Amino acid sequence: MTPKESADIILKDIWGNRGFPVDPVWIAKKMGIRIIETKLPSEVSGALIKDKGSDPVIIISKTDSINRKRFSCAHELGHYLKRVENEEESYQYVDLRNNDSASGTNDEEVFANQFAACLLMPKEDITRLYKERVPSFMLAQKFSVSDDAIRFRLKNIKLSKI
Ligand SMILES: [Zn+2]
């Protein structure tokens, strides 16, 4: 499945008609994932851990901004979906800041980032509001994402990538 297909299924089946902003923590909990907010080493942005026989856990940095935490949680959810797809029983995935995710060289990171963007900023809604000339800072507010995230999303949608 593409990141958009995965995000659309979760939005439809789990989030339902709860509107915006989408809450990735709420969604993760509904999916049986524990969320832990804790102090992480400065180079770590988040992690996904599962021991055999235990619930999966998403770890996010408690010192990050609210928007950053939301994106990290959605990103880890993307990694989780990949693990489920591969039917893995135990795993440990640690995300570093400034890793190769931004440069788009690691397929798994690209998936997780695109999934997070599609989950928090669904294409159809962004496109509709953009056509209604809602300014990007208001879009950032409505979807509770950073200004950079909304700009990047608009750029990608205009290039009809995801
Ligand atoms: Zn990642």
DSSP state of 95: E
Give the distance (Å) from ligand 1 centre to CA of residue 80: 10
Give the distance (Å) from ligand 1 centre to CA of residue 132: 33
pLDDT in tens, 79-110: 999 999 999 999 999 999 876 555 567 899 99
Taking residue 127's Cβ as centre, other Cβ atoms within 10 Å add up to: 14
User: What confidence score (pLDDT) does residue 158 get?
Assistant: 80
Mean pLDDT of 113-126: 96
User: What confidence score (pLDDT) does residue 99 get?
Assistant: 65
Give the distance (Å) from ligand 1 centre to CA of residue 20: 24
**Stated length of the chain:** 162
Distance (Å, whole) CA 113 – CA 75? 6
Cis? peptide before 21, omega within 30° of 0: yes
Mean pLDDT of the chain: 93
Mean pLDDT of 63-83: 96
Mean pLDDT of 61-84: 96
pLDDT in tens, 125-159: 999 999 999 999 999 999 999 999 999 999 988 86
Pick from 120, 140, 117: which is nearest to 130 by CA? 140
C-alpha separations of 62 from 40, 59, 94, 99 in Å: 8, 9, 16, 20
Residue entry with tokens 């990171």: 109
Give the distance (Å) from ligand 1 centre to CA of residue 150: 19
Give the distance (Å) from ligand 1 centre to CA of residue 95: 5
Give the distance (Å) from ligand 1 centre to CA of residue 112: 6
Give the distance (Å) from ligand 1 centre to CA of residue 76: 6
Residue 120's pLDDT band (cuts 50, 70, 90): very high
Is the predicted pLDDT of residue 41 greater than 80, yes or no?
yes
Distance (Å, whole) CA 13 – CA 129? 23
User: What confidence score (pLDDT) does residue 98 get?
Assistant: 77
DSSP state of 4: H
Give the distance (Å) from ligand 1 centre to CA of residue 111: 8
Two tokens, residue 4: 């958009």
In degrees to the nearest 10, what's the CA dihedral of 118, 121, 122, 126?
A: -140
Two tokens, residue 158: 């205009």
Give the distance (Å) from ligand 1 centre to CA of residue 133: 32
Task: Name all domains of the chain by residue range, CATH numbers in brackets.
Answer: 3-120 (1.10.10)
Give the distance (Å) from ligand 1 centre to CA of residue 114: 11
Is the predicted pLDDT of residue 162 greater than 90, yes or no?
no
Give the distance (Å) from ligand 1 centre to CA of residue 48: 9
